[in-house]
Amino acid sequence: MSHIRKRLSKPATESVVKYTSSLPFDRRLYRHDIAGSIAHARMLAKQGIIHQEDADTIIKGLTDISREIKQGEFEFKAELEDIHMAIEAMLFELVGDVAGKLHTARSRNDQIALDMRLFTKEATTETLARLRQLQQSLVEMAEGNKEVVMPGYTHLQPAQPVLLAHHLLAYFEMLQRDVERFNDALKRTDVMPLGSGALAGVAYDIDRNFVARELGFNRVSQNSMDAVSDRDFVIEYTAAAGICMMHLSRLAEEVILWSSAGFDFIELDDAYATGSSIMPQKKNADVAELARGKAGRIYGNLVALLTVMKALPLSYNRDLQEDKEALFDSVDTLLASLEVFSGMIASLKIKKENMERAAGRDYILATDLADYLVSKGETFRNAHGITAGLVGYATEKGKALNQLGLSEYKRFSPLFKNDVLSISTKSSISARNITGGTAPQQVKKALAKAKKIIGEPD
C-alpha cells in the first residue's frame, strides 16, 4: 500500500489501518478479482498496451496466487487494506516490476465494481439452483400426498378443507416468484463495469467488449460515473433475498405449528430437529425457528445497504466498502436456509389421519352449507346468516354438523333437503373445481405445471 500513500506525509496509525481495512471480509472475492485481472491483462496485450510476454508473466503469477489462496498457503498481511492490494503485492513478489503494468487502464473503483458483480452473478445462479431444489422437495411431497385432506386456515382458525398438496403448492408459487425476481435482478447485475477507471473512463484504447466476453457478461456499462458508484444490483439481490426469506419464514411457522402437539400434523425427521438440554421428551423444530430469526438478518442488511447509498454524491465514496459484509451475509444466510429447507421438507412425515380428522372438526363445512342454500335459490347474505344461526345451535347442543338431523336443519330454512346430509370434506374440496382451486382435478393440473417448470417429467 506504500505507493498509495506517497502523497501523504506520514503513515496511517494502526487504528486507521485496522478501521479502513476490508481484507478480513473481501478476501473471499479473490477468485473474482483474479479472473478480472487475467481478462484485463489479456485485453491489454491484445490491444498492444502491454507486451504479450508481460501479460503471460502476469497471468502465470495470478494463476499461482489463486492456487496458493485456494490451498490455504497465501499470507494475508494485515497492512494491505483490501484483496486487490494483497494480490498485487504478492504479484510483485512473484514477477517483479512487470506486475506494475497490470493496473494500466483501470482503478480499484472499477475493479471492485467488477468483483462485486461477478460475485453477485455467481451467488444469484447458486440461489436459483437452490430455489429449484426446494421447489422440487415441495412438489415431491405434494405428489406423494395429493389425496390428503387438511383444514385450511384464516386468522389461524379452521376455515375450509383443502388438499395438503394445494397448501404445499402455495409455497411453490411463492418460490416461483422468487425465481422470477432473482432472474430479473440478474439481468441488471450482468453488466461489465471495468474500463470506467476511477470515474471518468480511461485514456487508453481498450476493448471493453473483449473483457465482457472473457468474463461472461452480456453488456458493458454505459456511464463511467454510474458504473463505479452503482450498487443497485447488491440492493436488488438483498431485497429479493429478504422476500425469499419471508416466504421461508412463513413456511417455517407452518412447520413449527404442524409439528407441535396442538396440531400434530407432521413429524420432523430427527436430522432436522433438536432435543432439549433439560426435558428428555422434547423434539424441537429449531431449524425452522432459526429461519424465522434469520429472516431479520437479511431485512437488516437491506436497510443497511439502502442507508449507505441514500445520500452518496457521485461517484465513488469509501462508504461503498460497507456493501460487502451485508451482501455476503445475505447470500450465506439465504443459501444455507434454502439448503436445509430442501432436506427438511423432503424428509417430513405426514400424519394423514390427524390432518383429515382435524378437517372434519370445528364446523369447517359451514361455508358449504351457505353455498348449498344459494344453490337452492337463497341469496348468499341470507344463506350466511342462516348458516351462522345453525352453527350457533349446533354449538349449543354440543353437536357436529354431521350429527344434526334433517329436521334440525329445517328449523333454519325449508330449503334444506335430504341431500344436505351428503355434504362432506370430499364434496367440499371437489366443488372448488376452478383454476387455482383445491379440487383434485385442479391440483393435478397444478402439479403437472410445477413439474414442467422445474424440468421434471410429468
Which residues are the active-site residues?
A: 155, 276
Please give the Cα distance from 414 to 88 (Å, whole number).
89
Whether residue 110 contacts residue 197, with contact meaning beta carbons closer than 8 Å, is answered with yes
Q: Is 408 exposed, middle or buried (0-12, 13-18, 19+ CB in 10 A)?
A: middle
Angle, vertex CA 168, rays to CA 165 and CA 169, nearest 5:
85
Rg (CA), the chain: 30
In degrees and rounded to multiples of 5, residue 264 shows phi and psi of: 60, 45
Per-residue CA distances from 13 to 23, 85, 258 (Å): 17, 18, 57
Q: What is the DSSP string of 347-403?
A: TPEE-HHHHHHHHTSTTTTHHHHHHHHHHTT--HHHHHHHHHHHHHHHHHHT--GGG
Q: Which three cell numbers stand for residue 457?
A: 417429467
What is the distance in angstroms between the CA of the first residue and the CA of the last residue of the chain?
Answer: 59
> From the centroid of its chain, how far is CA 63?
33
